[in-house]
Structure 1
């Protein structure tokens, strides 16, 4: 009996039962670049994030730069009573949040103060995709012409009149640093943006069109926790956002959203080089699905609608197969702000593209500097 017991103890020593590994802890950075016309939304955004933070071993850090205030690094944490609270961990001297230098500094501070196994980024600011400063409104010069009282919508980031460029933003992010980047900002679903960031993050959540104010705010309290799951549920978060706006009425029933896996974007570039060889006349541009609301120009077109015209049946079939792999989730309302120079959405592949246009030679030059253009044979 004693011998048997010793044998059992010996076996248990040799083959100890291993506990389930703890899920990775995650730090999500909310980059609130609102030293611009969005400043009035800042407090409501922060409160919604406070309510939605699930707590535990995870971190939620907010870089807040708003009008007439010193920038701050805030932490949302759960106190001993189980209540979510907000505290300031660092106050910065006046700085421009729309520079790569500032963004890099903030990332460094976050890594130092809130180390984690994984990181996510939510970026809230004005945005205009890959476009150079001022090109959204005046592409020929690289006047906004909307309704008299336009519905409010949200460059990668803007501080006053300064804009953070795509290349500068990508350059300061270490490779494979983020599990995901979510853009609470307009026009960020362009292939130009996605390709520039493909080595920086695993997934990107973005919008082909503008984002109607107040953006993600209505879903943070219920859906933020999805981003803290061991495998961040970007598709679930995107669906919650879309379902909210799709349930609205009138012009407010306006939303596009996409979640893309960046691992397949190199294959998309290979496809473009092999199959996208047909010329699409510029006269055909009005037939192609667009996602912007300007009377005199179009800058954001549906990727599949355009590139599908540049190839044959075999190429279109392969493109569809590729996009089904790359685009994890996509959704769009039938119309987008129809009462204010809006448009019908008949084609929504989840990714947009710029198309070279003769009347925008300076913009075309800048476009050809992007990684997507350098690695694909771009035939307008």
Structure 2
């Protein structure tokens, strides 16, 4: 089993298991103080709180990171008041983990948008998308990804999970990704296409090509991801290697978010904090993510490794405990704001339960990268 790690620019970074902090050179200090390039993620559009139900998957909310204890309470409604009730207890931990198993559809995009909004209203600063998906709609994946990118989500693919086809676009948007399960990609198809020739099919796909390229660019992912989504036959699945994930911008720090985060952290916590965090990242990746027994690890083991010796790097930092690596994993509690009043939409939205098996709905996807 291969392990892939992408550092969470905001906080969900895990520490090294052994070894002393690195000594930074003056060149790296200059790099920390140099102005970062101008970057901008796509602002999230106003959320539509119309009645919605999960039609091709199941979701759960948990207030802890240890999935070995279970995935929490099921999400039976996407209405504001019901999502708020499901997340209320997470105010005490400052962490909300959303487990989702199913296809990437419009209702999943609505879930990502609404969960991020409700978590923000409750002052829950750490959000994890614990995903297991064989793919779905490209348009829905980009819509969900924009919500993920603007709401500080980490993304996990556990050893018992996969992230295939359109799901890969979600990884591009995450601030941090911990990946143990397989990540695969193939050609886009329109399952409800009316095309009768290659020319007509090509014209349909070109209509979303610009949006897809722009999405990958603003999230710091390589255009090679687009190339694979237009060339790998849909009947096959190209499983990405560790090196490919890094080369495509799906592993390592999300370049866009990291630029924004370093500016914020330098102002709040100082460049010395950033130097220690950078040293910590390198040691963690070498000693926790890629140890000799990596084949026997899962996400929980990686987390435990980092927690064991992160104090070697002076974390949690007394001045910036919440910004420190792994703050949410050892129970650090955010300074909760006063209880916000429910939004005007609190009474809106319909209740709905998760739909039958995703296979029954696969043909309903519009633009999709369907699992073979």
Name the TM tier (shorter chain).
Answer: under 0.3
Determine which structure has the larger strand proportion and give its number: 1
TM-score (norm 1): 0.27
Structure with bigger gyration radius:
1
Higher RCO (C-alpha under 8 Å, 6+ residues apart): 2
TM-score (norm 2): 0.27
Determine which structure has the larger helix proportion and give its number: 2
